[in-house]
Amino acid sequence: MPARRLFGAQSMTAPLRKVMLRAPGAAFGRAFDDPAHGFLHPVDLPLAKRQHAALADLLARLGVDVEVLDEAGLGPDSVYVFDPLLVTESGAVPLRMGKPTRRGEEAALATWVETAGIPVVGRIDSPGTVEGGDTFWLRPDFLCIGRSLRTNTEGAAQLSGIVGGRVEVFDLPWWHGPSEVLHLLSVISPVADDLAVVYQPLLPSGLAVLLDELDIRTISVPDAEFDSLGCNVLAVRPGVVIVAEGNPRTCAALAAAGCEVYTLDLSEIGLNGSGGPTCLTRPVVRESK
């Protein structure tokens, strides 16, 4: 019997075997007190904890090994654990957050991956910045990076050198500026090798052309479901997805495309801080082909 893989997640859609989450704690409960965090309303912490536990439970029921870390004195945005770390087939890459209030999350996760037996194969150093929400694997050897208000040119160049293979960088629009930053994964979520959910009005034109060249079909999120995180879809395996409640047209389109769709109420843990199912999870192991 082959040894169980400890890491490796160079895909957005391959079967998810292990995922890491970070539970909300006292800092999350105080998030609205500081406008720098960008939360929409005062936090109902007990509700946020129940919603986060429901996400962990759903992932476990879908066959995923779930490890939940506590808040560990970090800020409220640390629950959006996709952003500070990338896990490749070679090991982990602690990133460097562009949002100043999130600095330090990278070091905490670097300590965790080393404890978990995952080698650190590179880091993003100052003045580079990269947030995980600006990265996604289009293919196992093809990384897409969004250059945004949180991921700069230097950071994108450093990450390209670390991961190797094909890397494409796409510029994201200003949108609403620093108070409502647009990540690349705000406008696209691959859900199978040949299918992605997109918000077309903000999709970089070069990426739209690339999807067409690769014969990747798209499901367009309607305007009314963009703010409710309709474009933030987590693929547990090809065509099996988790979507935040409140996006019925996107869910119907996914089902019509043959997907198995699971929805969760993420109003407090997700929508309040503008982070959906993908943001709340850091894939550690996805099945390699």
DSSP H or E segment with residue 240: strand 240-244
What pLDDT was estimated at residue 180?
80
Distance CA 286, CA 240 (A): 14
Strand partners, 96: 130
Give the rounded distance of the alpha carbon of 173 from its chain centre. Answer: 19
Residue 251 has pLDDT above 90, yes or no: yes
Give the residue among 74, 79, 63 at the shortest CA–CA distance from 21: 79
Q: Token pair for residue 69? A: 């870390």
Residue 275 has pLDDT above 90, yes or no: yes
Q: What is the pLDDT of residues 23-38, one digit of tens each?
A: 999 999 999 999 999 9
Tell me how far apart the 2 most distant CA atoms of the chain are, in Å. Answer: 52
Distance CA 12, CA 80 (A): 16
243 backbone dihedrals φ, ψ, rounded to 5°: -130, 145
Class level of CATH domain 16-286: alpha beta
**DSSP calls for 182-201:** PPGGGTEEEEETTEEEE-GG
Strand partners, 8: 285
Strand partners, 238: none
What's the whole-model pTM score?
0.96
Distance CA 30, CA 243 (A): 26
Other C-beta atoms closer than 10 Å to the C-beta of 131 total 27
Give the rounded distance of the alpha carbon of 92 from its chain centre. Answer: 15
**163-180 average pLDDT score:** 92
What pLDDT was estimated at residue 1?
41
Confidence of residue 138 (pLDDT cuts 50, 70, 90): very high
What pLDDT was estimated at residue 181?
80
Question: How far is residue 121 from each of residues 90, 206, 260, measured CA to CA in Å?
Answer: 7, 30, 35
Question: How far is residue 138 from each of residues 141, 193, 233, measured CA to CA in Å?
Answer: 8, 8, 15
Task: Specify the range with the lowest mean pLDDT, choosing from 2-6, 110-114, 268-272.
Answer: 2-6
Distance CA 150, CA 234 (A): 22
* 240-244 vs 234-237, strand pairing mode: antiparallel
* Amino acid identity for residue 120 in this structure: V
Question: How far is residue 271 from each of residues 57, 150, 229, measured CA to CA in Å?
Answer: 19, 20, 7
Distance CA 198, CA 196 (A): 6
Residue 87 has pLDDT above 70, yes or no: yes
Q: Token pair for residue 126? A: 């100052």
Give the residue among 88, 83, 95, 87 at the shortest CA–CA distance from 132: 83
Domain positions in the chain: 16-286
DSSP H or E segment with residue 249: helix 248-256
What pLDDT was estimated at residue 3?
59
